[in-house]
Structure 1
Amino acid sequence: MSVLNSDPVTRPSLLVRLQNSRDEQAWAEFAAVYEPVIYRMTLRRGLQDADAREIVQEVLLSVTSAIDRFDVEANGSFRGWLSRITRNATIDRFRQQTARGETIDASGVARLLDEATANEKVADEFEHDCRRQLFRWAAGEVRRRTGEVNWMAFWKTSVDGCDVADVARELDIGEGAVYVARCRILKRIRELVDERLSE
């Protein structure tokens, strides 16, 4: 469910901002959301930590060099494009390891080869991971801008499932304040996630 953005200033798309290699905030946001997704995707394919970290760097370099040419019409969705770059970099890593005679996780290679013909599965997995990471990123952003009492009121009632009256007593605030904090924080998290998903 989409929440209307209460911010009167329209934010330029992150993708447009990434085309400016000097926009450090845009690249920091991009890295905060997508680095963990790329890393987890490669680990699930059976790569070791060091290889997964190298692939993350390779993918980020690929994005850096190609973002100014990214075209939704030609490449499809940005996250779909990013998942293909990640999958291809992972396949290349397995090929390199095989060529060097290294022992590799055959099940990871088999999964990648199966997925090469079933791009939808990889794209769905990547999209799911992106949504989870977007929530983590947005929650972190909102928490940095929110007082700790309000954050705890939100977290304990919305995530931990604690009773509002119990949380209000524990935090020494009114029940109304708990409801307001929960509503405002959840709204802002949704706004941040919706902004990123709409790009």
Structure 2
Amino acid sequence: MNSDPTTRPSLLVRLQNSRDEHAWAEFTAIYEPVIYRMTRRRGLQDADAREIVQEVLLSITAAIERFDVDDPGSFRGWLSRITRNATIDRLRQQSARAETIGSSGVARLLDEIVANERLEDEFENDRRRQLFRWAASEVRRRTGELNWMAFWRTSVDGCTVADVAKELGIGEGAVYVARCRILKRIRELVHNRLSE
């Protein structure tokens, strides 16, 4: 898998068609949780974070037609900046309100965010985790539950193949095969989504 994945140019092209519901569903499945978590980690309440997610998605909807799809690597940076700016704006609003009632906690949080320019790395790490979750969910829907459990218990939970085989009542070879096949499918799906 590419060590520096980018958003697929084909997805960006499809997003430029506001009526392509499948493209927008795929985009939001991957990026909405990333945007939400970034804002929550900055101290925003759930309702504020959800509003920012909607603001960011509306901003993207309004501006995606003008985005240069030939440079998909910059899309993540652009999305990260939009999220960062929306978060800062919301915190500034809260800071102004807090100053009228004498609280400086929001102002300190705002200063920390402005000083922390590592948001793009954080955004990318969240995006990769969310892409794995999405791909795993897609593969799980197409996989039998027994095979999925063999994969999950050995690859994610860290159980031994022997223990999982005994727990599931199948041979160790079947556990290895299930784990290998499912991991391969997840990798392929992630790779396809990143490189199409």
Query: Same fold by TM-score, threshold 0.5 exceeded?
Result: yes
Q: Secondary structure at the match of 1:71?
A: coil
Give the deviation of 1:177 after TM superposition: 1.7
Give the deviation of 1:153 after TM superposition: 0.5
> Is the 2:92–2:110 contact (alpha carbons within 8 Å) kept by the matching residues of 1?
no
- Gaps of at least 5 residues in structure 2 are 3-7
CA distance in 2, matches of 1:72, 1:36: 23
RMSD: 2.3
Q: Corresponding residue for 2:163?
A: 166
What does the per-residue CA deviation read over 1:3-58, in whole Å, with 9 as the maximum and x for residues that have no partner? xxxxxxxx972212212222222111111111111011111112111111000000
Q: Corresponding residue for 1:94?
A: 91
In the TM superposition, 1:69-80 aligns within 5 A as 69-71=66-68, 77-80=74-77
TM-score by length of 1: 0.84
- Gaps of at least 5 residues in structure 1 are 3-10
Q: Corresponding residue for 2:5?
A: none
CA distance in 2, matches of 1:21, 1:192: 24
Query: Aligned AA for 1:111?
Result: E
Give the deviation of 1:149 after TM superposition: 0.5
Q: Corresponding residue for 2:10?
A: 13
Q: Corresponding residue for 2:150?
A: 153
CA distance in 1, matches of 2:14, 2:64: 10
Q: Corresponding residue for 1:110?
A: 111
Q: Secondary structure at the match of 1:105?
A: helix
CA distance in 2, matches of 1:181, 1:12: 32
What does the per-residue CA deviation read over 1:97-155, in whole Å, with 9 as the maximum and x for residues that have no partner? 3444475622320122213xx3xx11111101111111111111111111100100100
Identity across aligned pairs (percent)? 78
Q: Corresponding residue for 1:190?
A: 187
CA distance in 2, matches of 1:90, 1:160: 35
* Count of residues in correspondence between the two structures: 187
1:53 and 2:50 aligned: yes
Alpha-carbon spacing, 1:91–1:30, altered in 2? closer, same or farther (3 Å) = same
TM superposition outliers: structure 1 runs of 4+ over 6 Å: none
> Is the 1:45–1:108 contact (alpha carbons within 8 Å) kept by the matching residues of 2?
yes
TM-score by length of 2: 0.85
